[in-house]
Amino acid sequence: MPEELEDADLVENITEARSYLEQEALRTKTATSTDPASSKTSLEKLGLKTLKDKFPFLAEYSDSFIMEAGVHNLIKAEKAARQLKDMDRNNKAEDKLFSNRETVDSVLYPIEAGKDNRLSTLHAARCLPGAVCSAAKLWLHARTIMGNKGHPPLSSYDMQSIGMGDTVSAKGWVELHDPSSSNLSIKQFSMGGGLSSKGGKDNLIQDMEDLTEFRNSLRTLRGAMSFVHPWNHSITALESFFNHSNFCAKDLANSDKQVNLLVKFTDYVLNENASRWRDMEGFLTTREIRGVWADFLNQNPPTKSKPQQAQHKSQQHSQHQPHNSSSSGASVKNGATKQYNKLPSYLFMEDICVMWNLGRCVKSPGSCVNKRGQQLRHVCNHRPDPAKPHESCGKNHPACNFH
């Protein structure tokens, strides 16, 4: 509706401007050689000159026309002239895009043979214009060329230039290079992705705390993908779904686990795309993801916790607990055991570099020290036996890559 009103105003302004232009043309034909503006005072002439200098479009009108038109009509004429100019510029841009599209099939870019090592020697083909075919066709073309597996993983991409330095875990870089990987997770692209207090298939990641962290992780995942596989637009399709739905705020309005469900759904989509890559099928588009989200929500309905009932049960449980010394000691012991069982499978030891085990230490072996000046070893700090908390793997490899 606002666009229709704007078009109506444009037509009205153009009509009025044309009417004044026609009147001026008629006046010019019937006018005598004497300019009516010559009878004006010098102050008026000076004012007209200043006005024309400020608004170049008035140069095509005579002084008498400007004086008789009035400020209101001149403003309309200026607006109409500006809108006509914008329309002409847009039409030229659209014509240019259309003509270029018509010649796409006939323009072949020569690609000469050469070498490329991804760092110091870059082939000119890296700077070819982007493909204008469907994103699914580009995805399947890459699948045909690359095969099932991806490229050798690296972590040397210039993420710092786009404001995302040190936000991708070593595990994330490894999995991102393999489009068929079912182990890729949004958690691997979080600022806190290097620490964990829970077990699982990836012990070096932890749950996200809020929606802001999830947004940043998704943005980091898309940025990293643009470096690793520029042809892969599957993450952009997922991000568009979240942006269009305001991160599913309406569906998860009554849930106290909004971020957990979003993380779970994101990992599900990543896994589905990996499966489609293996089966040589196109990735999930934004429209398809909407349907997948509806099915996912039916299988994982959002729930609302009841803190008052939980607190009431906790109080009842504490009231029924015996208070003798032996039972208290057993309770403390069992609590300590449970707390001990929650320890991660890696261990913070004073003489082992934790950041190296997370794949983030850039110091050379022998030169790594902590804040107190104590030298740190670059050995694996994975704890293979939970019953022996002070024994680590100790091998010459980071825990993030082998455990």
**pLDDT by position in tens, the chain (length 403):** 455 555 566 556 566 666 665 565 555 555 444 444 444 444 355 467 777 777 777 777 777 777 766 666 777 777 777 777 777 777 777 778 888 788 888 888 888 999 999 899 999 999 998 999 999 999 999 999 999 988 899 999 999 999 998 889 999 999 999 999 999 999 999 876 544 333 333 444 557 878 999 999 999 999 999 999 999 999 999 999 999 999 999 999 988 889 999 999 999 999 999 999 999 999 999 999 999 999 999 888 887 655 544 444 455 544 444 444 334 444 434 444 444 444 444 455 668 888 888 877 878 777 888 877 788 888 888 877 777 767 788 888 888 777 7
Let me know if residue 173 belongs to a domain.
Answer: yes
Instruction: Tell me: do 295 and 350 sit in the same domain.
Output: no
Query: Whole-structure pTM over 0.85, yes or no?
Result: no
- Asked whether 37 and 64 are in contact (CB, 8 A), the reply is yes
Q: How many domains are contained in the chain?
A: 3
Let me know if residue 258 belongs to a domain.
Answer: yes
CA-nearest of 48, 70, 67 to 59 is 48
Backbone phi, then psi, for 355, in 5-degree steps? Answer: -65, -35
**Domain boundaries, position 262:** 134-299
For residue 157, give the DSSP letter: S
Measured CA distances, 162 to 4, 127, 166 (Å)? 40, 19, 11
CA-nearest of 182, 181, 172, 180 to 147 is 180
Instruction: Tell me: do 138 and 265 sit in the same domain.
Output: yes
Q: Would you say how long the chain is, in residues?
A: 403
Instruction: Tell me: do 286 and 178 sit in the same domain.
Output: yes
Report the alpha-carbon distance of residue 37 to residue 58 in Å, rounded.
15
| Domain end residue (candidates: 70, 96, 122) | 96
